[in-house]
Amino acid sequence: MKDVRIGILCFQGAFKEHRYSFEKATQLVDKDIELKVEEVRKPSHLNGLDGLVIPGGESTTMSIFLKIGLKIRLGLAIGVLMTIERVEEGIERSHGCRDHVRAEDFMESLRDWMSKKKAMWGTCAGLILLSNNVLDWKNNSQSLIGGLHVTTVRNSYGRQKDSFEAKLTLDEELGGEFPGIFIRAPSIKSIDSEDVRVLATLDRHPVSVCQNQLLATSFHPELTDDYRFHAFFINMCLNTPSIG
């Protein structure tokens, strides 16, 4: 039996739904595995993981959190979506105060971890953060993890009120159709390398791709009862260097 440890970045997004989907997806994996799904809230939580999921959320806020490694003491309002200005203002006020904020460059830790050829999956906002290029920067404030040779466009499928569900066409390995749920979803404007493989399309436009150990989806598989993408990612993790 092989042990597989998958982390889920828990700043924003449906991380509980991802955990549930991974547990269900083990039934679709051919190999006998022992799966452990863990919450990742600081760089040290990356140690020993075979894969990492960056769930949906607000990409600008997530990138700011990752860049500065925001760590808020117990008692402050946790879970409130702060604007960039409020985040930066809070950091400036709390500079040097260990009780409030300690700067820690989470983004660099993620890049270093990814350089070890670990599996990483970005859904929705996670796709944006993994992209090498994003056309519509927000006040030039976003910092990307990068690595995925695609160009994306934020909120390309509309705002929150424009959310929708549509049947997606999958490639031969995944097979058939998939119920794609799009919530303020980014689009993949261009694929910039032959190393990028298209896994799913909507009206012949790519909405899911993979490149070596990287997986990305514009939509939210964790909000469906179809666990094929989660099983696909588990299989990717089985091929990471730590498992062999």
Domain boundary assignment for the chain: 2-54+108-237
Give 30's DSSP letter. S
Is a pLDDT exceeding 90 seen at residue 99?
no
Sheet architecture: strand order including 214-217: 33-40, 2-9, 51-54, 119-123, 214-217, 205-211, 197-202, 164-170, 177-182
Options 124, 149, 210, 230, the catalytic residue: 124
Tell whether residue 218 is among the known ligand binding residues.
no
Residue 72 near residue 78, CB atoms below 8 Å: yes
Min mean pLDDT across 85-89, 179-183, 218-222 is at 85-89
pTM value is 0.81
For residue 138, pLDDT over 90 is answered with no
73 known ligand binder: no
The pLDDT tens digits of the residues spanning 62-73 come to 555 555 554 433
Torsion of CA 215, 159, 227, 188, to 10 degrees: -30
Q: Of 18, 210, 222, 230, which residue is the catalytic one? A: 222
Q: How buried is residue 173: exposed, middle or buried, by Cβ count under 10 Å (0-12/13-18/19+)?
A: exposed
For residue 138 the two structure tokens come to 């927000």
Strands 33-40, 2-9: pairing kind: parallel
CA dihedral 94, 95, 100, 105 (to 10 degrees): 130
Q: How far is it, in rounded angstroms, from Cα 213 to Cα 237? A: 8
- From the list 18, 149, 210, 220, the catalytic residue is 220
Q: Are 144 and 125 in contact (CB under 8 A)?
A: no
> How many residues are listed for the chain in this entry?
244
Nearest to 152 by CA among 185, 124, 187: 187
Query: Is 58 flagged in the annotation as binding?
Result: yes
Q: What is the pLDDT of residues 160-219, one digit of tens each?
A: 777 899 999 999 999 899 999 998 899 999 999 999 999 999 999 999 999 999 999 999
Q: Rounded to an integer, what distance in angstroms lies between the CA atom of residue 140 and that of residue 182?
A: 25
pLDDT tops 60 at residue 1: yes
Structure-model confidence comparison of residues 162 and 237, the more confident one: 237
Q: Would you state the pLDDT for residue 231?
A: 97
- Check the annotation: does 59 bind a ligand: yes
197: phi then psi, degrees, rounded to nearest 5: -110, 135
Is 220 among the catalytic positions? Answer: yes
- Give the CATH number of domain 2-54+108-237: 3.40.50.880
The structure tokens 């049947």 sit at: 167
pLDDT (mean) for 100-114: 69
Active-site residue flag, 210: no
Query: In sequence order, which residues have a C-beta less than 8 Å from that of residue 230 and are 6 or more positions away?
Result: 18, 21, 22, 24, 25, 221, 222
Q: Any binding-site annotation on 57?
A: yes
Taking the C-alpha atoms of residue 147 and residue 49, their distance in angstroms, rounded to an integer, is 19
The pLDDT, as a whole number, for residue 100 is 31
H or E stretch covering 21: helix 15-25
